[in-house]
Amino acid sequence: MVKKGVILCGGLGTRFLPITKAVPKEMLPIIDRPVVDYIVDEAVNSGIKEILIIISPNKDCIKEYYQPNPELYQKLMESGKQDYARVIDQIPQKANVSFDVQYIPKGSGDALLIAQEFVSGEPFALMLGDDVMYNDQNPVVKQLISVYEKYQKTVLGVQRRTPPEIFRYGVIDILERLEPDVYDMKGILEKPSSVDDLTSDLATLGRYILTPEIFEILKKTPLGINNELQLTDGINLLAQQSGALAYVFEGRRYDMGNKLGSLEAITEYALRDQELGKAYKEYLTELLKNIQKVFFKTN
């Protein structure tokens, strides 16, 4: 049974400067909630109630978001804004969310090692803070948990991608196909540079169910790119020693470390929103009628 989840929220958010000079990229909004909260909800909706968020220094506002704010709650109640009061009151109650800090950026593997005590020898979900997943019927982490429970092995969430997009991701080296969407894997090729290097069309996309042996493996893993401890290198060793699986999950993935991905998420979540969806659809429909004339004028 997978009961715990770890979310990695490190990184500088360079591609979103200058806003990330003051606001962590994980706190940038999709409508009225921060990116990280969509990831927390995915975990909660997958049956996970204990969550550790690994942050870098100067990201205390993520912690503040998950702490009670009785003063604001009281002001909202007194001013007749009970609905808003209930919304902020429910945030700290959705899960047992705790925090730890990676003070020096030494790679994703180093960040994960901080979670060893929290995990306490159990299998756990790992979610990267740049990736938001949408599947309102069957959350992606829940799908991965189902595969783990069947095979009792580490599971990586993947989807099919084609060049040139696939060059941005780790690519699965397939050993054997076990089911239509489940593959036994040799390892991961990190960000291949050409079509000739591709070992498959399966790209890793920031969701994992990991067995606790990953921690001892990471401690023995040589430093990799930029002299950092890379999670990919640790998973490759784990796959060789104990085996690992790639699962082609169902769902829409948004790359929130990318400006276009952020805009896609905002647009699509707004269209799904019960309050905003209809009006936003009408706005977009009207905009598209005149988009060439208004935004792409030619001389």
Residues 228 and 291 in one domain: no
Residues 166 and 40 in one domain: yes
Residues 210 and 293 in one domain: no
Phi, psi of 68 (to 5 degrees): -60, 150
Residues 111 and 123 in one domain: yes
Per-residue pLDDT, 192: 83
Per-residue pLDDT, 193: 82
Secondary structure, 3-state, 81-133: CHHHHHHHHHHHHCCEEEEEECCCCCCHHHHHHCCHHHHCCCCEEEEECCEEE
Residue ranges for the chain with pLDDT beneath 70: 298-299
Number of folded domains that form the chain: 2
Residues 183 and 299 in one domain: no
Per-residue pLDDT, 129: 96
Residues 274 and 243 in one domain: no
Residues 164 and 289 in one domain: no
Per-residue pLDDT, 299: 56
Q: Is the peptide bond before 18 cis (omega within 30 degrees of 0)?
A: yes
What range does the domain containing 107 cover? 4-257
Residues 284 and 246 in one domain: no
Residues 198 and 150 in one domain: yes
Residues 209 and 267 in one domain: no
Identity at 154, one-letter amino acid code:
T
Residues 180 and 287 in one domain: no
Per-residue pLDDT, 298: 64
Burial of 78 (0-12, 13-18, 19+ CB in 10 A): exposed
